[in-house]
Copies of this chain bind each other. A is one copy, B any other.
């Protein structure tokens, strides 16, 4: 068998934290010039655009040319080429007499191996005349050897980290923006010319198309007019779009092969394709005539770039009001959305949104609500998932599932049973979201219960069986299992269930108030509801030395255990009559939507055991808790007891697309086996086990648990390392504005002290605090007066700490104004 050279498999992390957010100003057009191969004329195109901008009266233009990576320096220097050509062109044509051009060329960072140290040259041609334009050429990093930057960097001992490169580029953009303060949009222009082809490595080894991705700068692709160039151009275009770039135009040099035909037809009405005249091959040719002959093409290109830029700006400005007019947002009182409160998300890169600000900048915001708890990928994982999505859509789209099998579905089911379902689960039923997964789980549990308890004596094909009993669930107060009616019926009455919201809701359950655990003032302690009717007053102030202690199995022998079990027994035996408790359903450990409450795991374990003793099927709702959300792949590992049925969704696909799964034991499955189709589980959604969802799940499940791809996985592979800094957690838990803290796995939650209308789901109390945090680059959403930070399983503790620091600082202010 072929073996992979392990030496080359370095754990590589894209975009480790930069000291400031990577912002792209939109005040003026900024473009990247990509090549479909090396040597296709990117620099000629850059110079052509510069000429078209600078030498077209009557505008007075500042043109920024940026070459981030230059190898073969100083004999090669693309920025010097652009500089020289523009000066030559300025002097050549009489029409340019009215233009004075000041031009500069700088190199910001040299490899120590380079001999040259000419770090700045400047020129002014023409008199200070009517139109005074400026060309600013910059090379950010230069190496001597004429090889790929990653090789040159290694050989010359001058490796540049991705984050450093991005920060340098960011500074250039700020300068672009500043240089245009008093100028109209089109009078400042910036092009960034990449090195080699679109997927050529940068100095750290990251492919450039990945490296520059956080800015997502609109792209001009210089295609290849040679034999084979159609293919190379299309593939390069696909590599760019497969990373979420918008390609605004394709331009290439004519080699007489009519490559434009197939290219036109490929990009159809999406991207214009322009053809440049053949470039003279004689090295002594100064190209002046060629540039003049190409002038109309470059003018055309410049117009396309400008018009795409203006269109983008226009769209970004219009989107909020358009959205307000036609979108109906979930869980949103439209009347309460403040003016200017609609946020345009231009893209996402790993854990960050890229958001359009009215100050005309695209800026990152850490997605600390994990987009309703779905998100997990870092930038690298998102890029890989995107490629898998393209592949799976092309290979499968969606295909019919019942009685069929396809690779992604089978692989996904296997991984689920080897992972979250390990030790108990035998069957996987796919659906679309957590809510449907719960409805399916309830149907499964009720059948199992009915079979076990003789409620279905006669399994004939009678579809309209009499209702032999009223089946109820046993569930916990503050639990939430989804928005569809069946899922809602399994939750206690709440803001979501009133007549106003769902006139059909009746609440078919017995709802218990569970004891909960939280940290306050640096101490974990239990809060036990009154219903438990204390005989022993000492139980009231139980605290824990560490969080680990809370989850320890030895608590089975603690004095609380008999208190819990006798309470549960009493409740269950007190429940009589025609109704029957036919299922236990609960979110293990953390109740999410109910306000990020940590239920005492001991209580949940005893509850499960009591139900099992009574042959009541147990459902775990792991839609929120599954897949490392709580620091372990499944909360089963925290509460040390297993369900008969469990539901998964959200993070299962790494936050890409909707997919849910209900896992069950064979015993549950068997209660649906019979001779008639009517005994089968007659439930299924159109996109059951859709290939893309399954593929995303396969990739995510593997990615999160592989120490190679997820640096947070500890060596044993069963735990995430601690992501939240202990000191900061303690500090926040001791803050005067804070009622309680819950911290576990990827979750850090806190409840703000609040009273009256300020408390509860509809409270707007936390809003000003979160508004401030958005200014700090952190996007949170409140659950009333409970707020939380949710990172991904791969997020670095360094980033988590930054979040905590920002939160603490704003808490300080918040505390100030609320007192």
On chain B, the residues within 8 Å of A372 by CB distance are 400, 684, 686-688
Q: Are the C-beta atoms of A426 and B498 separated by less than 8 Å? A: no
- B-contacting 9-mer, from A19-27, A133-141, A387-395, A613-621: A387-395
Interface residues of A in 337-384 (CB under 8 A from B): 337, 341-348, 353, 367, 369, 371-375, 377, 382-383
Closest B residue by C-beta to A237: B235
A413 within 8 A of B: yes
Q: Are the C-beta atoms of A8 and B656 separated by less than 8 Å? A: no
Q: Are the C-beta atoms of A680 and B389 separated by less than 8 Å? A: no
**Chain A 183-197 interface 0/1 with B at a Cβ cutoff of 8 Å (1 = within):** 000000000000011
- Bound-state Cα–Cα, A265 to B463, Å: 58
On chain B, the residues within 8 Å of A147 by CB distance are 227, 257
A288 within 8 A of B: no
Given contact pairs A241-B391, A337-B403, A436-B483, a sample of 6 additional A-B residue pairs in the complex whose CB atoms are under 8 Å apart:
A8-B264, A329-B684, A347-B396, A390-B390, A463-B496, A676-B762
On chain B, the residues within 8 Å of A399 by CB distance are 345, 348, 353, 367, 371
Copies in the complex: 2
A574 within 8 A of B: no
Closest B residue by C-beta to A468: B499
**A228-B37, A232-B232 in contact; A344/B405 too (CB < 8 A)?**
yes
Interface residues on chain A, number (Cβ under 8 Å): 198
Q: Which 3 pairs across A and B sit closest by C-beta, in order of nearness?
A: A330-B684, A197-B231, A390-B390
On chain B, the residues within 8 Å of A545 by CB distance are none
- B-contacting 9-mer, from A442-450, A561-569, A598-606, A733-741: A442-450
**Which of B369, B396, B495 makes the CB contact (< 8 A) with A678?**
B495
Q: Are the C-beta atoms of B9 and A269 separated by less than 8 Å? A: yes
Q: Are the C-beta atoms of A345 and B685 separated by less than 8 Å? A: no
**Chain A 1-16 interface 0/1 with B at a Cβ cutoff of 8 Å (1 = within):** 1101100111010000
On chain B, the residues within 8 Å of A404 by CB distance are 342-345
Q: Are the C-beta atoms of B327 and A405 separated by less than 8 Å? A: yes
Q: Are the C-beta atoms of A471 and B692 separated by less than 8 Å? A: no
A410 within 8 A of B: yes
- Bound-state Cα–Cα, A529 to B258, Å: 67
On chain B, the residues within 8 Å of A414 by CB distance are 322, 326
- B-contacting 9-mer, from A533-541, A625-633, A667-675: A667-675
Q: Are the C-beta atoms of B9 and A322 separated by less than 8 Å? A: no
Q: Are the C-beta atoms of A433 and B685 separated by less than 8 Å? A: yes
- Bound-state Cα–Cα, A196 to B230, Å: 9
A293 within 8 A of B: no
Closest B residue by C-beta to A194: B231
- Bound-state Cα–Cα, A38 to B427, Å: 49
- B-contacting 9-mer, from A54-62, A169-177, A502-510: A502-510
Q: Are the C-beta atoms of B389 and A692 separated by less than 8 Å? A: yes
**Chain A 726-752 interface 0/1 with B at a Cβ cutoff of 8 Å (1 = within):** 000000000000000000000000000
A-B contact pairs, 26 of them (CB 8 A): A2-B304, A4-B264, A37-B37, A38-B228, A205-B265, A207-B234, A244-B391, A244-B392, A327-B405, A333-B673, A334-B672, A345-B406, A369-B400, A374-B686, A397-B656, A400-B779, A435-B685, A436-B436, A447-B500, A461-B762, A463-B496, A463-B497, A464-B497, A657-B658, A657-B690, A677-B762
Q: Are the C-beta atoms of B242 and A242 separated by less than 8 Å? A: yes
**Chain A 652-663 interface 0/1 with B at a Cβ cutoff of 8 Å (1 = within):** 000111100000
Q: Are the C-beta atoms of A687 and B390 separated by less than 8 Å? A: no
On chain B, the residues within 8 Å of A447 by CB distance are 500
A428 within 8 A of B: yes
Closest B residue by C-beta to A1: B307
- Bound-state Cα–Cα, A412 to B498, Å: 32
Closest B residue by C-beta to A494: B463
- Bound-state Cα–Cα, A10 to B353, Å: 39
- Bound-state Cα–Cα, A148 to B1, Å: 38
- Bound-state Cα–Cα, A669 to B335, Å: 11
On chain B, the residues within 8 Å of A261 by CB distance are 8, 150, 205
Closest B residue by C-beta to A227: B38
- Bound-state Cα–Cα, A485 to B683, Å: 11
**A227-B147, A685-B435 in contact; A239/B244 too (CB < 8 A)?**
no
On chain B, the residues within 8 Å of A346 by CB distance are 406-407
